[in-house]
């Protein structure tokens, strides 16, 4: 059956109007070794922001290939900072790393996104999304033209990412997806996407590098990348809480090529409604935990219906009691509490009257027995006295 092109917008309208009901974040660092400290700080910085805006740990998947906090070169053991003033410890006491060390691989990342994981995989390592979930996917590391390196051992290509997101769409694993990547030649990584409802942005064009922002002389390495730094600056200073109405368009317009030292890119053509619809999406629709719950009007039930159902249930119970009593040929069971109480009082009165009559009968018996005993004693005494007189 064929539809005219004029009908397609009408058929797509319900999907466009539908809202998401959950928010998830997948934050991936792909670089190990101490000199890549900034990549881990990038991920932890985004992690702190999405948690501040309401996404719980249960809906954040974080992949960190190295533990910079415990690296013997770290002058400040147990901490990770994204600024030379070291005002904020990103590591702290309240973080949950879901994939760590050699668990961070291309295979595990793709399995996570497509839900091709073993049945015994812990819930904390699974992306439990559905067709009403908005997902933020943030990746950072070393890359090139259409590839991103994982731990200097393997690579994920732009085609791999595109196919993974396609499987997610076919399996109804997302509603809308925001893809952000901070790496050299980052914009090439989303060039092969072909699945609907994806907004993509990257730090640099082809043949451009992604630069670090600044270094900490005491730590000895760069502590954050420029693209991530200016995203965080906007998010931390202007998006104060999950009720913010600021849009992705305002975030993207804040990018300054002179400050980032590369040309950020954007892709809106896959999004339903194009650039205008994508740019009008609120930032907290991906970075926050705004949950829009729909109520099915057809499932509403008024008070009258509930009363009628309760009355019907009471009648069924009374009928069951009646049949049970008839089958046992015993006193009908009380149909309400008052009847039961009155019956108990009558039974108690009968028991008291019976007790009084029994007490009277026992009293006369005791008097007769006592009199007979006295007569017997008197007879014995008289007999003994007569024998003595002889």
Q: Are residues 176 and 127 both part of a single domain?
A: yes
Q: Is there a contact between 140 and 181 (Cβ–Cβ < 8 Å)?
A: yes
Q: Are residues 287 and 315 both part of a single domain?
A: no
Q: Which candidate, 137, 226, 230, places its Cα nearest to that of 189?
A: 137
Question: What CA–CA distance (Å, rounded) separates 175 from 169?
Answer: 8
Question: What CA–CA distance (Å, rounded) separates 303 from 135?
Answer: 40
What are the 10-residue block averages of pLDDT along the chain, 390 residues in total?
A: 44 53 95 94 96 95 91 92 91 89 96 94 94 96 96 95 97 96 97 97 95 93 96 95 94 96 96 95 91 53 73 84 75 54 58 51 60 66 60
Would you state the pLDDT for residue 306? Answer: 74
- The answer to the question of residue 342 being in a domain is no
Establish whether 184 is a catalytic residue: yes
Q: Is there a contact between 281 and 248 (Cβ–Cβ < 8 Å)?
A: yes
- What DSSP element (H or E) covers 266? strand 265-267
Would you state the pLDDT for residue 9? Answer: 43
Number of domains into which the chain is organized: 2
Catalytic choice (20, 39, 142, 213): 142
Catalytic choice (20, 39, 175, 184): 184
The residue from 294, 326, 355 where one domain ends is 294
Would you state the pLDDT for residue 11? Answer: 42
Q: Are residues 52 and 188 both part of a single domain?
A: yes
Q: Are residues 60 and 78 both part of a single domain?
A: yes
Would you state the pLDDT for residue 390? Answer: 57
Question: What CA–CA distance (Å, rounded) separates 276 from 133?
Answer: 21
Would you state the pLDDT for residue 365? Answer: 60
* Cut 0.85: pTM above it: no
CATH number at residue 233: 3.40.50.1460
Would you state the pLDDT for residue 309? Answer: 80
Would you state the pLDDT for residue 17? Answer: 44
Q: Are residues 290 and 317 both part of a single domain?
A: no
The residue from 294, 321, 352 where one domain ends is 294
| Domain residue limits at 330 | 304-334
Q: Are residues 171 and 268 both part of a single domain?
A: yes
């Amino acid at each position: 059956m064929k539809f005219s092109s004029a009908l397609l917008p009408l058929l797509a309208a319900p999907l466009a109007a539908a809202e998401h009901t959950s928010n998830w974040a997948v934050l991936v660092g792909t670089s190990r070794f101490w000199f890549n400290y900034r990549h881990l700080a990038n991920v932890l910085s985004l992690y702190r922001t999405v948690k501040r805006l309401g996404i719980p740990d249960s809906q954040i998947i974080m992949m960190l290939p190295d533990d910079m906090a415990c690296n013997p070169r770290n002058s400040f053991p147990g901490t990770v900072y994204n600024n030379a003033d070291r005002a904020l410890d990103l590591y702290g006491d309240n973080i949950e790393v879901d994939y760590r060390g050699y668990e961070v691989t291309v295979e595990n990342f793709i399995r996570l996104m497509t839900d091709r994981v073993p049945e015994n995989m812990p819930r904390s390592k699974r992306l439990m999304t559905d067709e009403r979930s908005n997902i933020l996917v943030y990746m950072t590391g070393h890359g090139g033209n259409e590839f991103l390196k994982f731990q200097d051992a393997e690579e994920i290509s732009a085609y791999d990412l595109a196919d993974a997101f396609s499987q997610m769409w076919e399996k109804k694993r997302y509603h809308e997806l925001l893809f952000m990547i901070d790496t050299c030649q980052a914009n090439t990584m989303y060039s092969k996407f072909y699945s609907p409802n994806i907004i993509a942005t990257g730090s640099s064009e082809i043949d451009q590098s992604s630069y670090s922002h600044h270094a900490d002389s005491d730590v000895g390495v760069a502590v954050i990348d420029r693209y991530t730094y200016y995203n965080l600056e906007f998010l931390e200073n202007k998006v104060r809480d999950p009720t913010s109405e600021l849009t992705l368009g305002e975030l993207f317009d804040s990018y300054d090529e002179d400050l980032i030292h590369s040309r950020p890119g954007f892709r809106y053509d896959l999004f339903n409604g194009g650039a205008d619809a994508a740019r009008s999406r609120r930032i907290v629709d991906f970075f926050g935990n705004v949950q829009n719950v729909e109520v099915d009007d057809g499932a509403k039930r008024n008070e009258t219906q509930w009363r009628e159902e309760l009355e019907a249930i009471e009648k069924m119970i009374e009928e069951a009691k009646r049949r049970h009593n008839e089958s046992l040929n015993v006193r009908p069971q009380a149909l309400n509490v008052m009847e039961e109480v009155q019956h108990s009082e009558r039974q108690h009165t009968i028991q008291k009257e019976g007790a009084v009559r029994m007490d009277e009968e026992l009293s006369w018996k005791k008097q007769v027995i006592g009199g007979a005993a006295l007569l017997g004693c008197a007879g014995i005494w008289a007999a003994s006295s007569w024998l003595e007189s002889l």
